[in-house]
Chains A and B, each alone.
Chain A
Amino acid sequence: MSEALIQLAGNLSHPAILGFGLGVLAFFLRGDVRLPESVHAALASYLLLAIGLKGGVALTSTPGGELALPILVTLALGCATPVWCYAALRRMLGFSVPDAAALAAHYGSASIVTFTASVAYLEALGVPHESFMSALVAILEVPAILIAILLARRSHGSTAPLSLVLREVLTGRSILLLAGGMLMGLLTGAEGMRKVEPFFVAPFAGALTLFLMDMGAIAASRMRDLGQVGGRLIAFAILAPLAHAVVGAWLGKAAGLSVGGTALLATMAASASYIAAPVAVRLALPTANPALYLTAALALTFPLNLVIGIPFHAMLAHAFHD
């Protein structure tokens, strides 16, 4: 069995990925495994806060100099991807201004859940990674959303004042929890983290599995819309993450990250946001069609990254480090 197949098999047998598969399967069997909405929201809050906490604690033990370059490349990634995505979607694929901007926001931003699944995969393989990576994913989430919204406003105008848009992006639940968790981790440090470890660390993988099962059912329900979004968008939703993964892995190596860290940066770059971006985009770009950006990010890019992307990103990282 080749290396690629071993990696893929390792990923597919992870409980979290199997949970996702169960959610998808249940949807197509017309069974009901959906969690109540409030449980889904609570699990999402738990995962975001736990990731923030872990990242914050990691920052307390990382010398500032070591962080500078990784933060810089993450910011560069977050600023560059929405611009080229927007240009490609507008010029090459012929999308309208609001639709191109909405998609650029999603694909430039990052999916925390995909990132988390990648962490779980690397941990199962015993590949170490920099513990401050979850701080980077928080950093990557915001700029693309703002830049894409600005791009659309430049050529289209908008009803909502910019300050309102900014406030809504920054005080969205996912960003508040992630950044808030990080601040809590920074303040409390490793000492304080030990007090909440039994709740925020040990059950994390189990909670992720449950959450991904629900996401599987949600993603599957969107897959029905794939027929309507058109070939151009399907091609973009498959190819853009591949290109982003290569750029992410290259930047990770250039910034001096380990193999694990490089793989995670590739995953972050390849993933498309479907928690923070949809809410911000819905409010700031109301004329963009949610059926396009939600279906692309949730029904195509998310499952592809989860199942095939994550082991592929690990292989990319190995390739860049060899």
Chain B
Amino acid sequence: MTDEAATVPLHLVTIVAESVLEARLLELLGASGARGWTVSEARGRGSRGVRASEWEGRNVRIETLVTPAVSERVVAALARDYFPHYAVIAFVDEVRVVRGEKYA
């Protein structure tokens, strides 16, 4: 049974990007106020087929739980600096997080 009182509403921001961007994106998350993230390798197909390097890996998927204010900053920065020229997608879910006070 879910205990509603023990969960906190937060934003789950998921970014899938070409992996050369990983270091830059994590820096952006940190600077925007995210406390932590999960990075995994990803494969797939999208509108931009070309990656800069085969051996640096193809895509990364970055997930982070943040407050709505932080998620807004992240998405705005992505739209400004990365969407025009890079293969990046991002989406925001509203989620309820156990021990959510860790992330806010």
Contacts and interface: CB of A to CB of B under 8 A. Distances in A.
B56 A173 contact: yes
Interface string B64-104: 00000000000000000100111000000000000000000
A281 B18 CA distance: 14
B52 A279 contact: yes
Q: Describe A's contact surface by its main secondary structure.
A: helix
Contacts of B41: 37
B41 to A, nearest CB: 8
Interface string A33-56: 000010011001000000000000
B52 A290 contact: yes
Nearest to A44: B55
Contacts of A274: 53
A319 B52 CA distance: 38
Nearest to A167: B23
B55 A282 contact: no
Q: Interface centre among B18, B52, B57, by most A CB within 10 Å?
A: B52
B53 A278 contact: yes
A168 B23 CA distance: 9
Interface in B16-72: 18, 20-21, 23-24, 41, 50-58
A286 B86 contact: yes
Contact of B55 (A40, A286, A287, A291): A40
A168 B27 CA distance: 13
Contacts of A168: 23
Interface of B: 18, 20-21, 23-24, 41, 50-58, 81, 84-86
16 contacts: A37-B41, A37-B57, A37-B58, A40-B54, A41-B57, A44-B55, A168-B23, A274-B53, A279-B20, A282-B18, A282-B20, A282-B52, A283-B24, A287-B85, A290-B50, A294-B50
